[in-house]
Structure 1
């Protein structure tokens, strides 16, 4: 097959303070013989939402000698190009002022270029190479990319590779290390209160722990992009790199480092799970529309669990922290009303329209394929350990899938087959309960496999010693209305279906003005007044809804909510200790049995 002539792209800043830059695309004649359609992607892989990047693009022009003319726009994201026997140049302006891992951001300090939000592609010609150059940016700025550099530019072998390769420009800091014959580069942008040396060393340990699962790395070079900015956190996986955003001020406590290390582990594990081992729907992509799959529970949920496995095996996060995180997620999932309404497969399929477009009722009608998937992954690890008598866990399932399927595509049937082979169990009951079904999470499996107990605590059991001796405090702790109030005031954020508040007709967005005649100006005041009579009591509530003020009476019930704590089973056996150590690379947290000493 003849080598395709590349599209040549040049990016230039227009006004960094206004977050504007210009893209010039030079299109080869062979791409234009019959005309062509240039399109802007509607989304970026790894973030399953139509973002309509074309809304950030304007002044799309065709250059003909010294003349410019606008291209005919076919719809929201496509432009018609005329037939041509010579190369044509298209120029357009892009606005980038959204600092996330999915969107462009540039200012006087740096430029983060997300290719899906930047480059037009030619329909039907995604295989065509793209050369990218940067001109006119500040002289002291550097460029970082996972793409190979050639003659001052960066070459993507096709559009899929380009989309998978973000750019960072600026006066960033770089570190690197080698592991397993692969070079790992770390690019740090932005100020923070952390220790970059600690971050580099932890990343190295995480990389080695993940690589050990798969027997090495499927790349010779990999780039971690670290961006630090206040109060933000996020990550997006790519085939040979990952983009990470962390809170600049998070590192005054160990938990700030732990959160970053888990994020690193999560996104790096995606280098296998989803970027290479993936549902065939997820690559090559249709960039013009949604690409739904029922397997996001596998690609994201299982990765959310494996981030804990990896940081524990790497020794960069202690079990005491991981256990709190796992128990917190368990508490949230077993009490989320939507667990009874939506399965993980359904949550995966509807991610495009439901997960990324939450509304007030979402907690009552849906689950997160990340969080619920993480808990199901934990149970799957336990089921594999129990069925294999400790010989295999979830990490082994991934290793087998990688050895067997590599980058050839992965189906649900393939995952079931590997589960059956490793556990010796029919996968259907597990899938019917937790993946295609809506069964309640069962912590008994964790006890049997790992010697871990999920201990439930009622609200009144968590009172301080002083509060526990106060009948009024006990009474309030036992009362429940089913109202979830916003953090910034006594405004109803959610109403649990079937709760006393739902029965009284309270709903989203209403404001609690007063309870039993007492004015309530904060959420804490409202909740305290609502709980005052205790279970079986009633309260008169003054409510405002869209300018209308009215009274309702709410009958209180006993609080069904529980928080969970993960504790070691005091009767843990040798097999459970061994299974725990095999999964997490650490000794079981239960204190060793002390034998009597003769004196």
Structure 2
């Protein structure tokens, strides 16, 4: 462990300003994913101070136990004398003070969790989210902070924070800004551009099949669309960070930046590229929805405990919903591409039995403990899927009932203007905005669709905007057991058994190994083994459970080889077409075809 003085020399630290908290990160063994951290806290006259590492990071509502990478913790006073300390819980170190003194903390961090987007160090870069690296004290949380990096000479450092004294030094107003302003440092590609007086940067770490010029072209279009929803921008500078990597995927929003991770070979095809640019749109929207306004319970953030809210479906689901609005209006995504993506979202919803059990409000509150797997799919849903569809349901209702004078975008603009941080908004705040905009009370709608599991009539809903959900004419009927399986060698193992379906009613469950159907061995593909049957046939299933051969009978259900799709309704009238334009901001396909 390097001494603090040595670290400061390496990182070009300066004497601390009054009340500043100064952080230094020295990366001397990147190949081993190790970083040495030094923290200088201002003078304190307390009997002790508690220093903490967050237990989660913003944008991921899950306890991550980030303190598990900390080793070699030391505490010293301003004269370099060791201070007594003790660890009082999983992520808090209590440092005892005998007299008023500055407190200097040193420790080592193991950073090899790229997919969590909290901390990663290797010989080509470091991704530094403060929640994974930098301890804080509630006593000094509001003080100005500086960060100094000691990194290999050829590395470049980029952050949404302003540079402080050199290209590897940054400054933030307080810890909350620091924790929401990650740093990408390493060997990377950097593009700077300006749109409508605001500055942007695109920094890419890793090689991949991406087209940098296409990314830049579309990002320039995307960042002009903020006024589609809000009447002002909450930033003057914004950074898009991209990891083209392997073994990690996803993205996280931050105060004036985002980190997007994708497999390095998942940029090239149109479908993959849409996945990237949709993610960029999602995180861009979060700059308002979450980073400028967010639900009560998450404002201010409690970094060491779960932050509960019934409104995460608005924070995440509405953000997902607005992605396509920005992409379609900017011309990045075609209406046909939007219809395809919307069809996938609706089909996922319809194939999730948990939608009948858990409401959007409940799934929001339970986001911190939601588990994955078969049980979750059968008995719960998620804030992204349900929130997106509820947002569409509310948007079209608003448009229809007000003759297109009010839309859901206006609700979010009101949240932005009336409930900016630091205060968080409540359910009643949203209901008040709806009443102010429409003159109607939405309490009953809220109860029926948010507080209890929503039952959406997609045929009726899509018809209002001149669309319909239909099965392709060439789709073929298939026999099904309402379960999915994966090949685990000689046998197929059930991975999902849909609640209430044929396999469920017959007593089959996940991890059962299917041996035969009507005494004929099942090969590598369950669907292929069922091709000789039709819906309504009664069959015998032989399977292995707890290493014993079992048997059951079931009646095959009907499935199709092609899902339902969202398509334009060729019979759409002028009113429906007009509502479509008010909804999506572009002409209905029938009008566009006539031009």
**Compared with structure 1, are the counterparts of its residues 183 and 212 closer, same or farther at alpha carbon in structure 2 (3 Å cutoff)?**
farther
Alpha-carbon distance in structure 2 between the residues aligned to 1:414 and 1:539: 55
8 Å CA contact retained: 1:141, 1:171: yes
1:120 — aligned with what?
A: 135
8 Å CA contact retained: 1:451, 1:568: yes
**Compared with structure 1, are the counterparts of its residues 260 and 339 closer, same or farther at alpha carbon in structure 2 (3 Å cutoff)?**
same
Where in structure 2 are there 5+ consecutive unaligned residues?
Answer: 1-16
8 Å CA contact retained: 1:395, 1:583: no
Alpha-carbon distance in structure 1 between the residues aligned to 2:296 and 2:23: 29
TM-superposed deviation, 1:101:
5.5
2:364 — aligned with what?
A: 348
2:552 — aligned with what?
A: 552
Of 419-428 and 295-304, the range deviating more from structure 2: 419-428
**Compared with structure 1, are the counterparts of its residues 593 and 521 closer, same or farther at alpha carbon in structure 2 (3 Å cutoff)?**
closer
**Compared with structure 1, are the counterparts of its residues 334 and 130 closer, same or farther at alpha carbon in structure 2 (3 Å cutoff)?**
same
Q: Which residue of 502, 513, 519 maps to 1:500?
A: 502
Where do residues 580-595 of structure 1 align in structure 2 (5 Å cutoff)?
580-590=580-590
8 Å CA contact retained: 1:242, 1:267: yes
Of 553-562 and 577-586, the range deviating more from structure 2: 553-562
Find out whether 1:331 has 2:327 as its counterpart. no
TM-superposed deviation, 1:273:
0.6
1:300 — aligned with what?
A: 316
1:181 — aligned with what?
A: 197
8 Å CA contact retained: 2:84, 2:95: no
1:162 — aligned with what?
A: 178
TM-superposed deviation, 1:416:
1.9
**Compared with structure 1, are the counterparts of its residues 515 and 393 closer, same or farther at alpha carbon in structure 2 (3 Å cutoff)?**
same
Alpha-carbon distance in structure 2 between the residues aligned to 1:282 and 1:328: 31
1:35 — aligned with what?
A: 48
Alpha-carbon distance in structure 1 between the residues aligned to 2:559 and 2:184: 50
TM-superposed deviation, 1:593:
8.4
Find out whether 1:395 has 2:395 as its counterpart. no
1:60 — aligned with what?
A: 73
1:315 — aligned with what?
A: 331
Alpha-carbon distance in structure 2 between the residues aligned to 1:572 and 1:550: 54
8 Å CA contact retained: 1:228, 1:248: yes
Of 483-492 and 51-60, the range deviating more from structure 2: 483-492
Alpha-carbon distance in structure 1 between the residues aligned to 2:190 and 2:155: 13
8 Å CA contact retained: 1:47, 1:102: no
Of 250-259 and 34-43, the range deviating more from structure 2: 250-259
1:467 — aligned with what?
A: none
1:234 — aligned with what?
A: 250
Of 336-345 and 77-86, the range deviating more from structure 2: 77-86
8 Å CA contact retained: 1:387, 1:425: no
1:528-584 residue CA offsets vs partner (Å, 9 max, x unmatched)? 334644333332222122322222223323449983211112222333323322332
TM-superposed deviation, 1:277:
1.6
Find out whether 1:486 has 2:486 as its counterpart. yes
8 Å CA contact retained: 2:115, 2:247: no
1:409 — aligned with what?
A: 424
1:172 — aligned with what?
A: 188
Alpha-carbon distance in structure 2 between the residues aligned to 1:487 and 1:374: 33
The root-mean-square deviation of aligned C-alpha atoms, in Å, is 2.4
Find out whether 1:454 has 2:454 as its counterpart. no
TM-superposed deviation, 1:188:
1.6
**Compared with structure 1, are the counterparts of its residues 562 and 413 closer, same or farther at alpha carbon in structure 2 (3 Å cutoff)?**
farther
Normalised to the residue count of structure 1, the TM-score between the two structures is 0.90
Find out whether 1:386 has 2:388 as its counterpart. no
Alpha-carbon distance in structure 2 between the residues aligned to 1:205 and 1:287: 35
Secondary structure of 1:430's aligned partner: helix
8 Å CA contact retained: 1:386, 1:448: no
Find out whether 1:108 has 2:123 as its counterpart. yes
Q: Which residue of 101, 112, 131 maps to 2:146?
A: 131
1:289-329 residue CA offsets vs partner (Å, 9 max, x unmatched)? 10010001111111101001011111111111111011111
Normalised to the residue count of structure 2, the TM-score between the two structures is 0.90
1:210-231 residue CA offsets vs partner (Å, 9 max, x unmatched)? 2443223112211111111146
1:361-400 residue CA offsets vs partner (Å, 9 max, x unmatched)? 1110001110111111111111111012122322222223
Alpha-carbon distance in structure 1 between the residues aligned to 2:459 and 2:549: 49
Q: Which residue of 85, 94, 112 maps to 2:100?
A: 85
8 Å CA contact retained: 2:23, 2:146: yes
Secondary structure of 2:304's aligned partner: coil
8 Å CA contact retained: 2:222, 2:281: yes
1:141 — aligned with what?
A: 155
1:195 — aligned with what?
A: 211
Alpha-carbon distance in structure 1 between the residues aligned to 2:93 and 2:20: 19
TM-superposed deviation, 1:91:
1.1
1:18-46 residue CA offsets vs partner (Å, 9 max, x unmatched)? 1111111122222x532111111111111
Of 224-233 and 151-160, the range deviating more from structure 2: 224-233
2:224 — aligned with what?
A: 208
Alpha-carbon distance in structure 2 between the residues aligned to 1:405 and 1:79: 35
Alpha-carbon distance in structure 2 between the residues aligned to 1:530 and 1:571: 38
Q: Which residue of 391, 401, 418 maps to 1:377?
A: 391
8 Å CA contact retained: 1:379, 1:445: no
Where do residues 530-569 of structure 1 align in structure 2 (5 Å cutoff)?
530=530, 532-559=532-559, 563-569=563-569
Secondary structure of 1:567's aligned partner: strand
Alpha-carbon distance in structure 2 between the residues aligned to 1:6 and 1:80: 20
**Compared with structure 1, are the counterparts of its residues 450 and 24 closer, same or farther at alpha carbon in structure 2 (3 Å cutoff)?**
same
1:437 — aligned with what?
A: 452
Alpha-carbon distance in structure 2 between the residues aligned to 1:567 and 1:512: 38
2:274 — aligned with what?
A: 258
2:6 — aligned with what?
A: none
Of 42-51 and 413-422, the range deviating more from structure 2: 413-422
8 Å CA contact retained: 2:475, 2:562: no
8 Å CA contact retained: 2:469, 2:566: yes
